[in-house]
Structure formats: C-alpha cells, structure tokens
Amino acid sequence: MTQNGTSCSVNNTTTDPVPTPITRHRPRRHLSRKLLYHYLISKFAYLILVPLLAVASLRLSNLTADDLLALIRDHLHNNVVSVTISSTLVLVLSIIYLLRRPRPVYLLDFSCYKPEDSRKVTREIFMERSDLAGTFTERKILERSGLGQDTYFPEAVLNVPPNPCMAEARKEAEMVMFGAIDELLAKTGVKPKDIGILVVNCSLFCPTPSLSAMVVNHYKLRGNISSYNLGGMGCSAGLISVDLARQLLQVHKNTYALVVSMENITLNWYWGNDRSMLLSNCLFRMGGAAILLTNRRSERRRSKYQLVHTVRTHRGADDRAYRCVFQEEDETGRTGVALSKDLMAIAGEALRTNITTLGPLVLPMSEQLLFLATLAAKRILRIKIKPYLPDFKMAFEHFCIHAGGRAVLDELEKNLELSDWHMEPSRMTLYRWGNTSSSSLWYELAYSEAKGRIRKGDRTWQIAFGSGFKCNSAVWRSLRSINPAKEKTNPWKDEIDNFPVHVPKVEAIASRN
C-alpha cells in the first residue's frame, strides 16, 4: 500500500487502473441559488422579528421606569382573575411537560472488536479454502465485492478441513462479544453491576442458553437485569437493539444499557454452490460491537453522542419483500441465505418509506417546502414532474450506511446524491472489515472518529437494511468534538493514515502457483 492511499499488488490486476479523486476534507458548500434560498427560509423568523423588536424598543425607549410600573399595576388591578387563571394554566402545563417529556438517551462510548492477525483472510486464501471445500465456483462475485485483503474469518472456517460445530460457534461468539465488551468497560470505567439493561442481537446463531445469558454469566451481571436476545432480524438488528434500549431507558431510571451487535459465521457458512446463496459467503466477515447507553443526566458531560431519533420501517406484509432475504435449503439440502434479484428494488422502496417518516423530523423548513411544493404540483395540479428528493446533506454532516455490499452503497450514493467524502466511511469499512452485519455501522462511525471528523454539534445518520424486509435509522448529535489522539482504543487507530484507498470496480484474484 502506497503513502498516497492507493492499493497496489504484484499479483493482482485491475480493470479500473485510473483511481478516482479522493476527497480528504469535509466538502465545502458553494454559494448557489439553492443555498441562498435555504438561508433565507431558515432565517425567516429572524428577518421578521428584528424589525418588530426594533419598533418595540423604540416605543419602550420613550417610557420611563415609573410609566412602566404604573402600566403593570393598572393591568394587574383590572385583570386579577385572568392573570391568576393564566399563571395557573402555564404552571400546570409546565409541570405536565416536564413529567411527560422523554428522558434524554446518551451514548457514553462504544467499542468495535478487532480480531487477531492470525484470522486475516485474503481473497486468495478465501478461494483456496472454498476450492478445498468444493464450493464457490463464481469467482466474479468476489472480484466485484469491494472487499480488501485484511478481513477476518473465525478459526473453524479457516481450518483445513473446516470444523463447523456448536463448540466452535460458541468460541467465536465469546471471542467477539467479550472482546468488545471488555474494551468498552475499560474505556468507560462502568462496573458490570451498574448495567441494568442488556440487549444482544445476532441474526443466525441462537443457542440455548442465549447469547445474552452468556454475557450475564461471564460478567456476573445483577439478578434483576432486563436482558433481551434478538435473533433472525438481519443486518438492521443493531439499530432495533438501540431503539429497544431507548424505550427501556424511558422506564428504568438512572441506569445503563449495554447493546451488543454481532453475527456468527462458524455455523452459518454456506457449503453449497447455489449462486443466490454464495454472495453471503463472499461478503460476511467476523466482527462485532458493544455500545453503552445511559439516561443519567450526570453522564452527559463525558458522553460522546445523544440519541435524537430512531425510525423503523417494516415491509414484511409484502410477500415479495418478506422473501427477498430468505434462509432455506438448496437443491442438495445444504442450508444458506438466498438473496432475491428484487433485493435492491425492495431496499429502495423501504428506504423511501423510512425517509418519508424521518424527513419532517430532521430536514430544515426550506427542504420541506420544496418537497411539499413538488408533491402538490404533481397530485393536485396534475403537472408531470419528478418528486423532489430532499437534500439530506442539509440535515446531516455524517452518513453511516450499512456496508452490506458495493451495490447497496452505490445505490444509496446515487439516490441520496452523496459525495465520495460522505460515502468514505462505508466504503472503507466494507473494504477493510467486510460486511460485519449489524455491527458495521459502528466500524463506520469509528472511522469518522479516527479521521478527526466528528465535531461538537455534528449530526450523524445511521441507516441499515435487514431481512424481513426492514429499513431502520438512528440520528445522533455529537456532544463534543472527538480528538482521535485522546481515544484509548479504536479499531482503525494503527492504520487510519493508510485510508482512504482506491477500490477498483473489479479486482482480479491471483491464481495459485
């Protein structure tokens, strides 16, 4: 790997030799008519209030202090009943608001698991092990995957011959979960006994006792802990876990919620040769994340982010969407996860539904007015016009899009009109770590932190897709600027200077000698 951030190899050839320009700094907004319009609408209230305040100040400047006191006394004397009722009403409404308003949820810190170097798998090693197992004849899938040479596999899959069994699957789960949690507890200084809520999600590995019970047993968590184990919910289960923890933190006072997101490969490697099921072998890699949330107001000062919104979209009522990611046996009886050809179209529909709900919560008034104007022109005036796609760059500084695959990232980059800079965390995560399922969003956020991009007040949009079919979003606001030099641990810490790298659209796999 060269210093300028491009990837090269003696054994590998590419069909895309000319690197695209890499943007290393936050993109600047150039002055344009749209930006001018945005500022005028966003500052409209100030433009109206300033003249009114000026007129009011001018009128009040002609009154003396005695005139003001006399005016107040006369008003109170003549309107005692109305003033009393109004004051009481304001007091009652204020108390109701304070009692009913949701408790703020803070993200104290998070940690991503980084496996040992001995579990690294290059594309050549992947093909070698697949050939020995008699699987994966579709080399083109891997060549177009967007994965690099430093992703990770569990030991059971790398062994020759492979050894997929329950004991090895538990070993992988313990290694990933405990590795991430140990690092998180060391970073935050929170004691296991202080954790009141535990949510663990893993889609395809659901042993008995559960993974959440495994965590409770290992860390000797307290007996009255509210623990949940989510299975079969796909790559978006991490945000479902965050949303569940958020709701529980509205009920349980003054506590911490530990969220653990991972996927298990050992028992879910596809050993057949059905092309629709081989993509998961190509993309999924070993990884996991632990996230610590809290509703303690005293922890706001040292927390990194505040959870602003969660939006969940489920299209399972549609049979086509329900079956687009489906675990089943192939013609030879081998179990795998089949991906439908309609997957991208269904993901687009789920995304549109999700952003329709999220848009009014986060978009500035200028974007909402443009959307409503085009909608009215199309439906009321019957004008043939394309629906206006809001500019979400007006609402967010950072985007963490689930690194489910190159096709997913390409489609969202196009639909949301994002720049290379905005897509960089997602593309580099796919290249460096592969698809780590529900934990990929946290490797992406860790990338932005390691690059020193997170500043106080920045808003980050996490968005993920999952089987079912689901599209889920979470919006975070940074409570402080993140200085990467002061971070104790970060999975990118020792190699962040090598990124971003150019990822060819097709990268040939070196043949074995």
232: left (phi over 0), alpha (psi -120 to 50) or beta: left
Q: Go through the chain and tell me how many residues it has.
A: 513
- The arithmetic mean of pLDDT across residues 243-254, rounded, is 97
Question: Which pLDDT score is estimated for 367?
Answer: 84
- What average pLDDT does the segment 184-193 reach? 97
Considering the entire predicted model, what is its pTM? 0.86
E strands within 344-481?
Answer: 398-401, 459-466, 470-478
pLDDT of res. 11? 39
Bridge pairing between strands 470-478 and 335-339: unpaired
Looking at residues 314-335, what average pLDDT do you find?
94
Q: What is the pLDDT of residue 16?
A: 46
- Checking if the pLDDT of 129 tops 60, the result is yes
Q: Is the pLDDT of residue 5 over 60?
A: no
Residues pairing with 107 in the sheet: 293, 305
Does residue 420 sit in helix, strand or coil? helix
Which has the higher per-residue pLDDT, 123 or 377? 123
Q: How many CB atoms lie within 10 A of CB 290?
A: 29
What are the domain boundaries of the chain? Answer: 105-486
Which has more pLDDT, 404 or 95? 404
- The pLDDT assigned to 24 comes to 52
Residue 25 reports pLDDT greater than 80: no
Please report, rounded to a whole number, the percentage of residues in the chain having pLDDT higher than 70. Answer: 87
Tens digit of each residue's pLDDT (9 = 90 or more) over 260-306: 999 999 999 888 888 889 888 889 999 999 999 999 999 999 999 99
> Which pLDDT score, from 0 to 100, does residue 160 have?
86
Q: What residues are labeled active site?
A: 235, 314, 398, 402, 435
Evaluate if residue 86 carries a pLDDT over 80. no
The average pLDDT across 151-159 equals 92
Question: Tell me, what's the pLDDT at 52?
Answer: 77
More confidently predicted of 50 and 140: 140
Would you list the DSSP string of 89-150? HHHHHHHHHHHHSPPP-EEEEEEE----GGGEE-HHHHHHHHHHHT----HHHHHTS---S-
Say whether pLDDT at 179 is over 80: yes
Alpha carbon distances (Å) from 379 to 136, 348, 367, 462: 49, 22, 18, 31
- Exposure string of 108-130, with b = 16+ CB inside 10 Å and e = fewer, is bbbbbbbbeeebebbbeebbebb
Mean pLDDT of 320-347: 93
Distance CA 467, CA 338 (A): 11
Which pLDDT score, from 0 to 100, does residue 221 have?
98
pLDDT score of 317: 96
Condensed to tens digits (0 to 9), the pLDDT of residues 249-264 reads 999 999 999 999 999 9
Q: Is the dihedral of CA 147, 149, 152, 154 positive or negative?
A: positive
Per-residue pLDDT, 28: 61
The predicted structure's pLDDT at residue 243: 98
pLDDT at residue number 44: 65
Q: Maximum Cα–Cα distance for the chain, whole Å?
A: 100
Q: Provide the pLDDT for residue 61.
A: 73
Cα(507)–Cα(509) distance, integer angstroms: 7
Instruction: Calculate the alpha carbon distances from 68 to 52, 53, 83, 257 in Å.
Output: 19, 17, 18, 54
Q: Render pLDDT for 386-444 as a digit per residue (tens, 0 to 9).
A: 777 788 999 999 999 999 999 999 999 999 999 999 999 999 999 999 999 999 999 99
CA gap 480, 279 in Å, rounded: 39
Q: Which two tokens stand for residue 76?
A: 């109170």
Is pLDDT above 80 for 511?
no
Q: What is the CATH number of domain 105-486?
A: 3.40.47.10
